[in-house]
């Protein structure tokens, strides 16, 4: 069993996101370890991009703060190398196509594999363009995660059929960011995925901001992804954010772990 | 399925949320592009509303003064709303109506595309929202007023460099959150397929007319066609029907800003490298880690870190040439055409004129250059005055 499968083997999975380098690289390192200790099953590490077209204001601003500090892809690889001396938690990189393309897709994949990265999430690479990334990453046993959205409709079948690792179900239209209500029919979407690919775990992301929403989403899926709500806490507490994030993470994981 | 590739360039690098929207657009376009009724309506609007065909004007005084090739100006500046942008907007809004959309959104740099979109939205009864970088809102106050007057909402984009690229990103975000009733009227030959193809086809009327007009006036094709390039819509429009005419040089002029050896430039072909951004693979100004560079040009319309994928391909195969023109060269050309021919060009188009001024004297007098005068320069007067140290109170 690979680490990604294990991530979905501990009750409903909790998948937090952080923008690496915000507030700085040292705190990012502490956050990864704190999130693991607080029950995170898989941690999404955002490699900041200058123009993140799928992000709402919270993650956009976090990316800018990190880039303004001069953080680079290589700094992030070095950070993960330090983390890997202490932790074997499942890790995914979330970034944009150009960050990987400019590094060299093969070179990036090789580096990520050496750091035991389990998955890559690229919001600007849809099914039609995936092979360019999917094939080189597959060679290193890294899953490029498929995303489905409420507008995917008949596309869900072909996307789900070829999905590996897990399926990232986008809960709402628009960009990332916390929302007061999530009203679209996500369980229908997930049923459609499971009909085509019964064993693939489905995690829901975009707009989940608190325990109540997390529980609601965990009821209809295999895990929840929380980004903006965490990034907002980081923004609020800056260098002192670690205990607040730990507490939030524990609350979420405890809330969803045993949901059936 | 063809996903709009031009060599290695193009493609559809957008969020899954937008995929069905771009597929729906492609299907609608394929359905209507050869539809007689659609084309009849579009031609009617181009001729009766936008004022086409635009003139191909022989700039005799300028040609004689430069003492070289004959220079013709393709007068896209005489179109309704003062630029080539209306050609594409009429086409896309007509398509949006056919698709049952009731709302259009668009990005704008100099404001020309925003004004054109607001204009056609008013004409066709579509709700309209224009996204514009805060920096450009300040540079182009008159166009902002015009858009509001035409009934559009203008949204200030303050993220990133607060210019055209950020306006494009924000319009994409807006489209992602509301696709059911909204069409994104992309203003250049860029973005995900099918936009580069659709916009090119709607702008290709420029080269179709140049060809007919040049044959009528000179009995032959021109030797060179010059056009400024940001995303590249006026240039591809001016080039397209000449791509197979290998003896016609196709020359795109990029905004060098303060110079291609400085970091205050927007000359993508000169300083950019292959990348993936704004839905397409093409050349982009970026750093070694793929972070998009904050570009600069005096011209808000050329202040963009990428170039349309078809231009990138024409560059790769050697069919078109691209050269950088600095702010200063463009401003001099802006002043030169005003004084010599009594035509105030858009500062964007002045980049193409600057190159004509350079090469015309090196060419024989029986050679013919066509410069695509993509827009008029009223919008730029305040800024150019400021560049020359003069303050105008509007």
pTM: 0.96
Q: What is the pLDDT of residue B1?
A: 44
Yes or no, beta carbons of A98 and B178 under 8 Å apart: no
CA distance B8 to B28: 25
Q: What is the pLDDT of residue A158?
A: 97
Considering only CB atoms, A148 lies closest to which of B16, B284, B292, namely B16
Considering only CB atoms, A51 lies closest to which of B15, B17, B160, namely B160
Considering only CB atoms, A102 lies closest to which of B159, B275, B279, namely B275
The rounded mean pLDDT for chain B is 96
CA distance A47 to A120: 11
The residue count for chain B: 394
Give how far B68 is from chain A: nearest CA, Å: 44
Residue of A nearest to B169 (CA): A53
| Pair of tokens at residue A11 | 């009750």
Is the pLDDT reported for residue B82 higher than 60?
yes
Question: What mean pLDDT comes out for the span B308-331?
Answer: 98
Cβ atoms of B97 and B71 within 8 Å: the answer is no
Question: What mean pLDDT comes out for the span B253-273?
Answer: 97
Q: What is the pLDDT of residue B139?
A: 78
Q: Which of B98, B160, B104 is nearest to B129 (CA)?
A: B104
Residues facing residue B103 across a β-bridge: B127, B182
Q: Does the CB of B284 have a partner CB in chain A at under 8 Å?
A: yes
Surface of B (192-251) touching A: CB under 8 A:
none
Give how far B62 is from chain A: nearest CA, Å: 43
Surface of A (28-47) touching B: CB under 8 A:
none
Name the stretches of chain A with pLDDT < 70.
1, 180-184
Strand order in the sheet with B153-157: B153-157, B127-133, B103-108, B182-184
Is the pLDDT reported for residue B64 higher than 90?
yes
- Angle subtended at Cα A68 by Cα A63 and Cα A71, rounded to the nearest 5 degrees: 75
Q: Which residues contact B311 (CB under 8 A, 6 or more apart)?
A: B189, B229, B232, B235, B236, B252, B269, B282, B320, B322
Residue of A nearest to B158 (CA): A57
The residue count for chain A: 260
Q: Which residues of B are catalytic?
A: 85, 107, 374
CA dihedral A56, A59, A61, A65 (to 10 degrees): -160
Query: Dihedral of CA A166/A169/A174/A176: which sign?
Result: negative
In angstroms, what CA-CA distances link B378 with B143, B187, B336, B345? 10, 20, 15, 8
Residue of B nearest to A58 (CA): B159
Yes or no, beta carbons of B15 and A148 under 8 Å apart: no
- Report the relative pairing of strands B103-108 and B127-133 from DSSP bridges: parallel
CA distance B139 to A196: 53
User: What pLDDT, in 10s, does the model give residues B99-144?
Assistant: 999 999 999 988 999 999 999 999 999 999 999 999 899 878 889 9
* Helical segments of chain B, H only: 16-32, 36-44, 60-66, 85-98, 112-124, 134-139, 141-149, 164-177, 195-203, 205-218, 233-239, 268-271, 309-316, 327-341, 347-359, 381-387
CA distance B338 to B355: 16
CA distance B78 to B81: 8
Q: What is the pLDDT of residue B72?
A: 99
Is the pLDDT reported for residue B374 higher than 90?
yes
The structure tokens 């063809």 sit at B2
Q: Which of B173, B11, B237, B270 is nearest to A133 (CA)?
A: B11
Q: What is the pLDDT of residue A181?
A: 63
Residue of B nearest to A173 (CA): B177
* Helical segments of B85-222, H only: 85-98, 112-124, 134-139, 141-149, 164-177, 195-203, 205-218
Considering only CB atoms, B15 lies closest to which of A57, A102, A124, namely A124
CA distance B257 to B276: 23
Cβ atoms of A75 and A107 within 8 Å: the answer is no
CA distance A138 to A134: 6
Q: Which residues contact B197 (CB under 8 A, 6 or more apart)?
A: B4, B29
């Amino acid at each position: 069993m690979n680490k990604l499968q294990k991530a979905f083997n501990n009750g409903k999975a909790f998948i937090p996101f952080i923008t690496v380098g915000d507030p700085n690289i040292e705190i990012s390192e502490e956050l990864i370890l704190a999130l693991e200790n607080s029950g995170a099953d898989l941690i999404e590490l955002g490699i900041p991009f200058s123009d993140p077209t799928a992000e709402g204001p919270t993650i956009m601003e976090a990316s800018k703060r990190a880039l303004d500090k001069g953080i680079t892809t290589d700094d992030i690889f070095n950070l993960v190398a330090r983390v890997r001396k202490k932790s074997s938690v499942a890790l995914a990189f979330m970034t944009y196509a150009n960050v990987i393309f400019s590094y060299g897709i093969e070179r990036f994949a090789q580096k990520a594999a050496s750091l035991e990265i389990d998955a890559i999430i690229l919001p600007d690479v849809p099914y039609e363009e995936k092979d360019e990334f999917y094939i080189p990453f597959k060679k290193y046993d890294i899953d490029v995660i498929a995303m489905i959205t409420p507008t995917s409709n008949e596309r869900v079948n072909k996307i789900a059929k070829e999905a590996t690792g897990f399926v990232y179900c986008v809960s709402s239209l628009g960009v990332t960011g916390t929302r007061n209500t999530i009203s679209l029919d996500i369980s229908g979407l997930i049923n459609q995925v499971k009909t085509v690919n019964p064993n693939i775990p489905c995690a829901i992301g975009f707009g989940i901001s608190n325990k109540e929403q997390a529980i609601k989403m965990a009821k209809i899926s295999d895990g929840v992804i929380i980004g903006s709500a965490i990034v907002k806490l980081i923004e609020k507490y800056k260098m002192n954010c670690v205990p607040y994030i730990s507490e939030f993470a524990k609350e979420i994981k405890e809330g969803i772990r045993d949901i059936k | 399925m063809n996903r709009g590739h031009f060599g290695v360039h193009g493609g559809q690098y957008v969020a899954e949320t937008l995929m069905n929207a771009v597929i729906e657009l492609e299907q609608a376009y394929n359905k209507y592009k050869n539809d007689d009724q659609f084309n009849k309506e579009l031609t009617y609007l181009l001729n009766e509303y936008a004022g086409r065909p635009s003139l191909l004007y022989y700039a005799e005084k300028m040609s004689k003064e430069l003492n070289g090739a004959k220079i013709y100006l393709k007068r896209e500046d005489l179109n309704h709303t003062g630029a080539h942008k209306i050609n594409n907007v009429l086409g896309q809004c007509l398509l949006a109506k056919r698709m049952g959309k009731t709302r259009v959104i668009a990005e704008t740099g100099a404001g020309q595309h925003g004004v054109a979109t607001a204009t056609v939205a008013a004409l066709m009864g579509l709700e309209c929202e224009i996204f514009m970088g805060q920096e450009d809102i300040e540079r182009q106050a008159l166009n902002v007023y015009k858009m509001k007057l035409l009934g559009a909402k203008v949204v200030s984009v303050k993220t990133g460099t607060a210019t055209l690229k950020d306006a494009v990103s924000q319009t994409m975000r807006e489209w992602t959150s509301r696709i059911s009733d909204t069409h994104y009227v992309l203003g250049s030959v860029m973005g995900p397929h099918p936009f580069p193809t659709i916009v090119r086809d709607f702008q290709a009327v420029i080269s179709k007319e140049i060809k007919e007009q040049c044959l009528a006036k000179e009995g032959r094709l021109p030797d060179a066609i010059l056009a400024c390039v940001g995303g590249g819509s006026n240039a591809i429009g001016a080039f397209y029907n000449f791509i197979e005419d290998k003896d016609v040089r196709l020359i795109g002029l990029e905004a060098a800003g303060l110079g291609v050896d400085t970091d205050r430039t927007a000359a993508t072909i000169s300083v950019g490298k292959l990348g993936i951004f704004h839905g397409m693979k093409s050349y982009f100004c970026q750093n070694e880690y793929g972070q998009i560079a904050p570009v600069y040009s005096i011209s808000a319309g050329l202040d963009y870190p990428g170039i349309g994928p078809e231009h990138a391909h024409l560059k790769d195969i050697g069919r078109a040439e691209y050269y950088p023109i600095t702010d200063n060269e463009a401003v001099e050309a802006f002043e030169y055409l005003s004084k010599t021919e009594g035509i105030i060009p858009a500062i964007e188009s002045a980049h193409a004129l600057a190159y004509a001024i350079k090469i015309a004297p090196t060419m024989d007098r029986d050679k013919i250059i066509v410069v695509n005068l993509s827009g008029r320069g009223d919008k730029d007067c305040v800024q150019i005055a400021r560049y020359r140290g003069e303050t105008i109170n509007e």
